[in-house]
Structure formats: structure tokens, C-alpha cells
Amino acid sequence: MPAAYVALDTLPLTPNGKLDRQALPAPDGDAYAVRAYEAPQGEVETALAAIWAEVLNLDSEQVGRNDHFFDLGGHSLLAMRVVSRIREVLGVEVGVTGLFEHPLLASLAQSLTHAGRSNLPAITVVSREEPLPLSYAQQRLWFLSQMQGVSQAYHVPHADGPAPGRSAEPSGTAACAGPHRRTS
């Protein structure tokens, strides 16, 4: 994001037709964007300002109620982190589109106030010390394979051999490991 803007009638070009960066004029003091800071009002705006400051690596005093998320350096990946933090801190479910539709802090706070609390359970970390249980879909496939025996209904044909100079034993062991839930 540029720190300053300078209006030009024509861009200076080199003899090759490319932009002559050295011939560009230096911006004067009026070229820098100046915004009036207005402190966040209320609990939701204050919490949002803290979340934006945390995600964007800014001081919380730098985020005002009329600030635009994307003008402060936000982008789609950071928007996902903001949405996640909003869910954790405020307990409100909002999609990334909500941040794109309401990029101003005050506007987003107002939309969150009307959204209500989330009924979704929190995602928790589970222990990896023992195998995870199978999902319902995995249980169904395992059950069908036990009942019907060998079937080609769910096979995906794929031939893959070991790399030159490598043993085929590790890949054979992995293929016969049995039904396990994939977590990635």
C-alpha cells in the first residue's frame, strides 16, 4: 500500500518506453494520506480494535472506529485470522464475507451486534496418543468391506512403484496398515 500519492499528467518514460523511476517527483507533505483518529466506542468496537491490532501487528491506539481493515494492511488471509479471533473473543459467528462487506470497524461492530451469539461448539485439540475413532463414513466403508469382501466399487486405480534404488517394503506396510482416520 503506497504511503503517498502524487497526481501526474503523464508518467516520465525512459528512451525504451519504460517508467523512469528516477524522474518521478518526490511527494510533498500534502501527498500523504491523513486520517482523523476516532477512538472505538463500546465493548464490541474496543474488542474488534484489539483484534485488528493483534492480527495486523499494530498498536491498539492506531485502530480507530472509522478505519478500513484493508487500508490498515489487511488481506484475505489475515481476514480469516480476524474471523477466527472474533469467534473466540466475542463468540459471534461471522464469515470472511462479513469482513469484506463491512471493512470499517464501526460498520463491522454494528453488524456483529445484530448477528447474535454462535451456537457452534468450539473446536478442541484431541490427544494423538492413541488412534482416533473412525468417522461415520469411514465406519460405513469398513463395515461394507467386511460384509461384501473384496469389491471394486470404491477402488481408485493407481499404480505406483518404489523409486529406483528403494525397497517396496515400507509402502506395502503403509498400504496394509488397516482402516485409520486421516486427519490432514
Domain range holding 26? 1-34
- CATH code for the domain of 87: 1.10.1200.10
Hey, is 12 helix, strand or coil?
Answer: coil
Higher pLDDT, 42 or 176: 42
pLDDT for 78 equals: 94
pLDDT tens, residue by residue, 52-107: 999 998 888 889 999 999 988 899 999 999 999 998 898 888 889 999 999 999 99
- Positive/negative CA dihedral, 103, 106, 110, 116: positive
Whether 159 is in a domain gets the answer no
> Does the pTM exceed 0.85?
no
Rounded Cα–Cα distance for residues 142 and 19 (Å): 64
pLDDT at 117 over 70: no
Kindly report which listed range (120-129, 153-162, 174-183) carries the lowest average pLDDT score: 174-183
Instruction: Give the three cell numbers for residue 131.
Output: 488412534
Same domain, 71 and 108: yes
Q: Is residue 60 in a domain?
A: yes
Under the banding of pLDDT at 50, 70 and 90, the label for residue 164 is: confident
**What's the pLDDT at 174?**
59
Q: What is the number of residues in the chain? A: 184
What is the rounded distance in angstroms from the CA atom of residue 172 to the CA atom of residue 162? 10
> How many domains would you assign to the chain?
2
> What pLDDT score was predicted for residue 51?
95
In this structure, is residue 151 part of a structural domain?
Answer: no
Tally: H helices and E strands in the chain? 6, 0
Whether residue 71 is found in the same domain as residue 89: yes
123 falls within a domain: no
Of 5-14, 86-95, 153-162, the poorest mean pLDDT is in 153-162
Which amino acid makes up residue 105? L
Of 115, 142, 157, which residue constitutes the final position of a domain?
A: 115
Pairwise CA distance, residues 177 & 174, whole Å: 5
Cell 507533505 belongs to 29
